Amino acid sequence: MKNKIFEKGFGMKILNGVAVGSVVVLIPGALLNELFKALLPVFPQGQFVLNATALAMTMMGVAVGVAISMMFKFTPIQTVSVAMATGMGSGAWKLTADGFLFKGSGDIINMTLTATIAVIMVLYFGNRFKAYTMLLVPTLILIVAGGLGLFLLPYVQKITGAVAQGISYLLDLQPIVMSVLMAIIFAMMIVSPLSTVGIALAVNLAGVGSGAANVGICAAAFGLAITGWKSNEVGTNIALILGSPKMAMPNVIKQPKIMMPILANAAVSGLVCAILGQQGTPMSAGFGISGLIGPVNAINLAGGWTFPNILRATITFVVVPVALAFLFRYVFVNMKKMVKSEDYFIDVQ
């Protein structure tokens, strides 16, 4: 079993599982939340959809655990065991005097650590327990891996908080410089294990900083989809844009150079965002174009749904990052030949 634990593809399977599990949970809310919020005055029954997507967010730990287990081709018993432990260590479920409180998606870094511990335990145990597998594996994985996840959670959150403080420091810089840096940082974070939504909320990222962070994620979404459109299915490219660029995290870990055209796009898009004065809220900062959360909030903060406000938001969040994605694809793929379309292939099976 040691060979399976230390085999070359172990880390990539973990990262692939995290990417797929988190995106699956985020997609329903990204597609439906803003639409049904707008429809609530005339269609109050739409609150069910908002409740359902909110509940899905709290299940991210379980989804990540299942996705990772599938990458390792675990049995149903092993899969459910890893999922339970990862959900327990996610931080989204808190025990209160009145019972469990489900809030938010949890800490994705801690999910990754908890799931990794659970996977190592499953690989180590293998079939050692034979007829007692159903009795011992779920119990041991939940108590040991899930317990370690809960133990690590406050320390991981401190690390995440330290990263958040570093980002908050950038908000004291000159707006133009801050916007460019914020866009680049969030473009990098959206393809890392870090939660852009969590960090944006932690530092209460608002105003032009939020807008720039949002447009950086838009640049990553459009850039990854357009640069690798020849290598991926249409559905995968749509998921990158409307779901989350986090799907490409394993590719970025394997070949960081593929982020060069993306970061160039983010830098210029952040500059345009500052010039056009697009803003956002702490919640909208981490979503990008998903569910049109970024543009909708920018329009609302600009004063409402007037033609100039809609035009500026469309230029900032769609036209500029899309145009730059094609431009930098040509520069880095065709002219400089520093990256290839195949580098952006995402295996979603």
User: In terms of residue numbers, what domain contains 131?
Assistant: 2-160
The domain boundary residue, chosen from 160, 191, 213: 160
Check whether residue 146 and residue 227 sit in a common domain. no
Check whether residue 21 and residue 54 sit in a common domain. yes
Check whether residue 6 and residue 27 sit in a common domain. yes
- Here the tokens at position 27 are 């997609």
**Under 8 Å between Cβ of 233 and 203:** no
Domain assignment of residue 6, yes or no: yes
Check residue 307 and give its pLDDT.
95
State the burial class of residue 169 (Cβ atoms within 10 Å of its Cβ: 0-12, 13-18, 19+): exposed
Check residue 183 and give its pLDDT.
95
For 341, which DSSP code?
G
Domain assignment of residue 285, yes or no: yes
Domain assignment of residue 348, yes or no: no
Number of domains in the chain: 2
Check residue 101 and give its pLDDT.
83
The domain boundary residue, chosen from 105, 133, 160: 160
**What is the rounded CA–CA span in Å between residue 166 and residue 170?**
7
Check whether residue 155 and residue 176 sit in a common domain. no
Check whether residue 42 and residue 190 sit in a common domain. no
Q: Please give the C-alpha separations between residue 53 and each of 31, 129, 293, in angstroms, as whole numbers.
A: 10, 39, 14
Give the start-end residues of each E strand in the chain.
93-96, 99-102
Check whether residue 218 and residue 108 sit in a common domain. no
- Here the tokens at position 248 are 């490409």
**What is the rounded CA–CA span in Å between residue 188 and residue 194?**
9
Domain assignment of residue 56, yes or no: yes
Among 278, 349, 262, residue whose Cα is nearest residue 310: 278
Check whether residue 6 and residue 86 sit in a common domain. yes
Domain assignment of residue 349, yes or no: no
- Here the tokens at position 141 are 């994985």
For 280, which DSSP code?
B
Domain assignment of residue 149, yes or no: yes
The domain boundary residue, chosen from 125, 160, 195: 160
Check whether residue 179 and residue 326 sit in a common domain. yes
Among 26, 22, 17, residue whose Cα is nearest residue 287: 26
Q: Per-residue pLDDT for the chain (349 aa), expressed as one digit of tens each? A: 555 666 667 888 888 788 788 878 877 876 787 778 878 999 999 999 999 988 988 999 999 999 999 999 999 999 999 999 999 999 888 877 777 788 778 888 899 999 999 999 999 988 788 878 788 999 999 999 999 999 999 998 888 777 767 766 776 777 888 899 999 999 999 998 777 876 776 676 888 889 999 999 999 999 999 998 889 888 888 888 887 788 898 899 889 999 999 999 999 999 999 999 999 887 778 888 877 888 988 998 898 889 999 999 999 999 999 999 999 999 999 998 899 989 999 876 6
Check whether residue 17 and residue 154 sit in a common domain. yes
Check whether residue 328 and residue 253 sit in a common domain. yes
